[in-house]
Amino acid sequence: MKKFAFVFPGQGSQAVGMLDGWGDHPEVLGTLAEASDALGENVGHLIHEGPKELLSLTTNTQPVMLVAGVAAWRVWRSEGGALPSVLAGHSLGEYAALVASGVLTLARAAPLVRFRAIAMQEAVPVGTGAMAAILGMDAQKVIAGCAEAQASFDAGSAEVVEAVNFNDPAQTVIAGSKAAVDKACEVLKANGAKRALLLPVSAPFHSSLMKPAAERLKAELAATEFAPPQIPVINNIDVTVEADADRIRNALYRQAFGPVRWVECVQAIKTHGVDTIVECGPGKVLAGMVKRIDAELTGASMYDPASLADVKTMLA
């Protein structure tokens, strides 16, 4: 069998009915029941019925995406799927990777992720922060453009804009205060970016404005039991594999207000001898990024029984 990695998607890949393709698979039903007990609400109903507006609230999106990724993982294992050589997750997806690795139980991870979402939403009032995807520009030029935009404000200004998600060589997401993000979009387009698209999000995730949320999260992480990983997990913030519980906690704390170094994560996955990266959970966003990051790698998605069968065939 080929050496492969599993990666888990984060916020943005959610959709009403995203688990319907699995039907009444017992692993999916069991995962929904476990998460519902942990959160004190019917998670399955929210995922199946929506509405989209409710599912897209950060405080709901983060736990439901965790649940969707873990459900797909459990189906894979129950259907005889082999263990991957390495795991990773994009932003929030790192928590699903840690559950798959055995570091966190779903019963512990779900309330932790819900707390993370609430802290992030409360850190910056809705409408005062923003994020935008910058397309068709080298990451270093995006960083320089953000610095140029921020420097255009008065000295001592609270306006801030930073490069926060390095998704592929030609797609970098920026985040910060609304005025600074708008200014950066203007500067970056003038400097040659193909497009600058404001994202429909409610907070400037992974920017330094999330530091207050991270400080709240730090205490919650300290109170949560972590076990040694059974499968290596490459983290977003340092692009390293950690085995020590306190180092894993610290990486999750810093990830809340630091960049998602996804291009480097995929490159690090390759160093484990992997040639196929499987996106475990709803959507095909991460699978699509794989080829754009490294043409020698193969990306695949697993989100229903048919795609699971395809992945098994691909890896045989």
Do residues 96 and 69 make contact, with C-beta atoms less than 8 angstroms apart? yes
pLDDT in tens, 151-183: 999 988 999 999 999 999 999 999 999 999 999
Q: Which of 56, 91, 177, 202 is catalytic?
A: 91
101 catalytic per annotation:
no
Q: Rounded to whole angstroms, how far apart are CA atoms 39 and 61? A: 13
pLDDT (tens digit, 0 to 9) for every residue of the chain, 316 residues total?
Answer: 789 999 999 998 999 999 999 999 999 999 999 999 999 999 999 999 999 999 999 999 999 999 999 999 999 999 999 999 999 999 999 999 999 999 999 999 999 999 999 999 999 988 899 999 999 999 999 999 999 999 999 988 999 999 999 999 999 999 999 999 999 999 999 999 999 999 988 899 999 999 999 999 999 999 999 999 999 999 999 999 999 999 999 999 999 999 999 999 999 999 999 999 999 999 999 999 999 999 999 999 999 999 999 999 999 9
pTM for the model stands at 0.97
Name the CA dihedral angle for 187, 192, 195, 201, rounded to a multiple of 10 degrees. -40
Tell which residue, 41, 217, 34, has the closest CA to residue 112.
Answer: 217
Quick one: pLDDT at residue 97?
98
Rounded to an integer, what distance in angstroms lies between the CA atom of residue 237 and that of residue 287?
20
User: What is the model's pLDDT at position 202?
Assistant: 82
Identify whether 206 is a catalytic site residue.
Answer: yes
CA quadruple 114, 120, 124, 126: dihedral, nearest 10:
-40
Query: Is the distance from CB of 86 to CB of 94 less than 8 angstroms?
Result: no
- Estimate to the nearest angstrom the gap between the alpha carbon of 200 and the chain centroid: 16
Q: What is the pLDDT of residue 288?
A: 96
Active-site option among 13, 206, 207, 301: 206
pLDDT at 113: 98
Pick from 100, 30, 33: which is nearest to 66 by CA? Answer: 100
pLDDT of residue 127: 86
Sorted by sequence, the CB contacts under 8 Å of residue 97 that are 6+ apart come out as 6, 7, 8, 87, 88, 89, 233
Q: 3-state DSSP call for residue 135? A: strand
Cβ partners under 8 Å of residue 40, min gap 6: none
